[in-house]
Amino acid sequence: MSTAVSPDLRRIWRGARIPLALLALIFIAGALLLLGRGEQAHGDLEPGSYEPGGAHALAKLLKNQGVDVRTVHTIAEADAEIGEDATLLVTAPDLAPAKRFDALRERAADVVLVTPGERTLHDSLPLVRQAGRSDVGTLPPQCTVAAAVAAGEVTLGGIGYASPGARSCYPGEDGGGTLLQLADGGGTTTLLGSPAPLTNARLAEQGNAALGLRLLGAHPKLVWYLPTTSDPALDGSRRSIFDLIPDGWYFGAAQAFVAVALLALWRARRLGPVVTEPLPIVVRAAETAEGRARLYRRAKAAGHAGETLREAARGRLRTALGLPRDADPAALVESVSTRTGRAAQDVGAVLYGPPVPDDPALVRLAGELDHVEREAGRT
């Protein structure tokens, strides 16, 4: 005996299936994103990344200074590269295998740990404790660490640290040093409370570049260790990204999913089919651009048109080079000059030169801007 389905239920299902499908896609995409980030939870400091949170700019500066930068993702790879002539940078210390991590640190000349958490402090640095948190901002060094003194004010904050006998720099709101340096055998171990000064987005600010170069470029070789949860050395104590999520978040996420599903069902009964409305005319984008160009020409506003082209090109270059939107002209010119090999004076003339006087000069400027963008876009 079959059970009849009421028309209301069929109508609800027809209206709700699209929102439910979208919710399922969003959930799957979020799960895949979490899994991907679990493989490399520190990805923001990837030396090959041009994203704002990446560290390509710093890695390039170090290479230009003659530092041999080696990127590794497992403890075995790091162990093969480390030596007395190398600095060890660990971008996510809490993901590193604890049993072999201490031995790795002992073999390095100097060690830099970015935002080490309670697990790393407990297992490897028992005399160090967390001492509050503070917003990321411009901080003075207020210490005698050579790298900090040379860099001056930098963009730091995040986790504060404290330890007897350690040198504490850039104190946060709770007094803890957002840069803490400990004597470790013949070298040093430096803790950073935030990755901000090493990132593409912040490197050009204050003394961030100087701090990064002095901390990471003190030796001929830099082992850039980006721990991942796929490291075979973690088989005995493997932790996925889900292990790092507090238990309360699961309950909250489940409630949010139920609420969104109920909202979709409620609204689905009131949503009808999509109705299209024929427009009287469709204007192509090219016609809009041509019309605007004719207005500039009629008004003899070549200078204004040139500045519009320059501003658009500067915006695209900032994005391509991983610079913040408010980067000053000098930083943009220097980055473009470094990327393209052009003289900084020539780049500045193209991007920030005087207004063009006439239409032929405007055409030449457009061509020069296009050449600069093409050269800067090469990898």
Calculated CA dihedral for residues 163, 169, 171, 176, nearest 10 degrees: -10
Paired with 87 in beta bridges are 110, 222
Architecture of domain 43-231: 3-Layer(aba) Sandwich (3.40)
Using CA atoms, how far apart are residues 19 and 194, in angstroms rounded to an integer? 40
Can you tell me the mean pLDDT for 127-156?
Answer: 94
Closest residue by Cα to residue 202 from 12, 37, 331, 340: 331
Q: Could you tell me the residue ranges of all domains in the chain? A: 8-39+244-267, 43-231, 285-376
What is the value of pTM for the model shown? 0.55
Residues counted in the chain: 379
Helix ranges restricted to H, 183-301: 208-216, 247-268, 285-298
- Reported as a pLDDT band with limits 50, 70 and 90, residue 281 is low
- Mean pLDDT for all residues in the chain: 82
**Distance of alpha carbon 38 from alpha carbon 136, whole angstroms:** 25
pLDDT > 70: what percent of the chain? Answer: 77
Measured CA distances, 370 to 311, 312, 341, 350 (Å)? 13, 11, 16, 10
* Residue of higher predicted confidence among 41 and 59: 59
- Residue 242 pLDDT greater than 80, yes or no: no
Q: Is-contact 179 156, C-beta < 8 A?
A: yes
